[in-house]
A and B are shown apart, each in its own frame.
Chain A
Amino acid sequence: MTPILLTPGDLAVAALLILLDGALSVILGLRLHRQITVASVRLVVQLLLVGYVLRAVFSLGSPVVTLLIVLLMTLVASREVGARTERRLARFGNYAIAAAVVTVATGVTAALALTTAIQPHPWWNPRYAIPLVGIILGSVLNAGSLSLDSMLEGAAHERVSIEAQLALGATYREALRPLIRSSARRGLVPIINQMSAAGIITLPGIMTGQILAGMDPVEAVKYQILLMFLLAGSSGLTSVGVAFLAAWRLTDSRQRLRLDRLSG
């Protein structure tokens, strides 16, 4: 299995397609040529940078550096989850919830994969740990931001019905149960869609990449299935975790609905 290595010339030919996009934008007055230029330059710079960083980290083979990179990725993903909601919980509540759930969900699923199915040597081998954490974080980010946004929007919109239940003596768990449920569901929708579409509507990226790199399709499929299961597990942990933590932050020791802790 020898991958066909790309030369800068190969990429330059492909870059003609970007020029085509730019030309279309100019001709049709789409006013997107600036954005297309900036985006494609960013793409090249960002990815090359990551490529060289990963190459360096892989050759270093240091557990500390690997851990630092993984932590940095987790931190950025947590920030993203917290920042994507329309409303925010006071005192950095969004970020606290996101950081806690993203770390646990990603850590648990990545550790499971690295110690059972993949088993590299050593188990934290950056060549496996970093890409694995990266792909898990992608779906955790999706699930977490959807679930959190749904909780915060729902609490604000359904204040009257939630407080009506509290006024009748319901506990906050009872009063928020429908909202927790619908938010957790919302967080899980993308991964369910991804699983059902995989192979029929889309050829998942990992699998495509491995096939292009010369791997046997069935072997590539096995990898993809493993990854999808990891993503499903981490999405589930994230959606449910975020919903419960947000519910907890939205109430207090007297089991009142604390919308005063919400802004935006």
Chain B
Amino acid sequence: MGTGKCLAISGRSGVGKSLLLRMIADLDPHEGEAWLDCVARSRSTGPQWRRQVMYCAADSGWWHDSVGAHFSPAPPLALAARLGLGSGIFAQAVRLCSTGERQRLSLLRALVLEPPVLLLDEPTGPLDPESTGMVEEVLRERLNGGTSIIIVTHDAAQAERLADQRLVMRDGRLIPA
């Protein structure tokens, strides 16, 4: 994949799209190797690699009660606003956030760390069209800034809008869409 490029992967549920992203992020044991800028993954530690090649799961995970505690040192209010999230949400409890809010917050968590590669698993799955548009706009800006993105999406139109290359996963293999 080139710098600043976006690859979209689609395919039926359960075909292994998420597993592929998890493997690239080195979250599951598997065989094979990945390279970032000609440096093999095996030459860095797991955490070092995942800080560069960041996976955003479809089901977001939280480890503090309040939203704000997941953002240190300070919540990125400007970027949050661009994703349609008001500043009030950072004082809220995670369990009181809607699925769509959580999804955007987990994306935000990854965006503030500015990894060179983003692996996004259904980033706009539970979102309304308006929020989806906001997310895509931020992602497009990141692409222009040189971030590479692999996105798993069921939304063909979204893949069309964002991706430079589109692949379909079938029977565990990737084929051009």
Chain A residues within CB distance 8 Å of chain B: 158-171, 175, 178, 252-258, 260
Q: How far is the CA of A72 from the CA of B46 in the complex (A)?
A: 41
Chain B residue with Cβ nearest A175: B63
> Would you list which residues of chain B between 93 and 133 have a CB under 8 Å from chain A?
106, 109-110, 113
Contacts of B28 in A (CB 8 A): 256
Which of B46, B47, B61 interacts with A164 by CB under 8 Å? Answer: B61
A160 adjacent to B27 (CB under 8 Å): no
Question: B38-77 interface mask toward A, CB cutoff 8 Å, 1 = contact, 0 = none?
Answer: 0000000111101100111101111100000000000000
A168 adjacent to B62 (CB under 8 Å): no
**Complex A-B, nearest 9 residue pairs according to Cβ-Cβ distance, in ascending order:** A164-B61, A169-B51, A160-B61, A255-B46, A161-B61, A254-B46, A167-B55, A161-B63, A169-B50
Q: How far is the CA of A169 from the CA of B56 in the complex (A)?
A: 12
* Contacts A168-B50, A254-B46 known; 20 new A-B pairs at CB < 8 A: A158-B61, A160-B57, A160-B60, A160-B61, A161-B61, A164-B60, A164-B61, A165-B61, A167-B25, A168-B113, A169-B48, A169-B50, A169-B113, A170-B47, A175-B63, A253-B46, A255-B45, A255-B46, A256-B27, A256-B28
A169-B59 contact, Cβ under 8 Å, with A254-B46, A256-B28: no
Q: Does B29 contact A (CB under 8 A)?
A: yes
Q: How far is the CA of A161 from the CA of B62 in the complex (A)?
A: 5
A169 adjacent to B57 (CB under 8 Å): no
Which of B29, B59, B110 interacts with A168 by CB under 8 Å? Answer: B110
Chain B residue with Cβ nearest A173: B47
Q: How far is the CA of A161 from the CA of B29 in the complex (A)?
A: 19
- Expressed in whole angstroms, the minimum distance between the Cβ of A175 and any Cβ of chain B is 8
Q: How far is the CA of A160 from the CA of B56 in the complex (A)?
A: 11
A255 adjacent to B63 (CB under 8 Å): no
Contacts of A255 in B (CB 8 A): 45-47
A164 adjacent to B57 (CB under 8 Å): yes
Which of A158, A165, A254 interacts with B26 by CB under 8 Å? Answer: A254
A167 adjacent to B46 (CB under 8 Å): no
B63 adjacent to A165 (CB under 8 Å): yes
A164 adjacent to B29 (CB under 8 Å): no
B63 adjacent to A164 (CB under 8 Å): yes
Contacts of A254 in B (CB 8 A): 26, 29, 45-46
- Expressed in whole angstroms, the minimum distance between the Cβ of A99 and any Cβ of chain B is 26
Contacts of B45 in A (CB 8 A): 254-255
Contacts of A260 in B (CB 8 A): 29
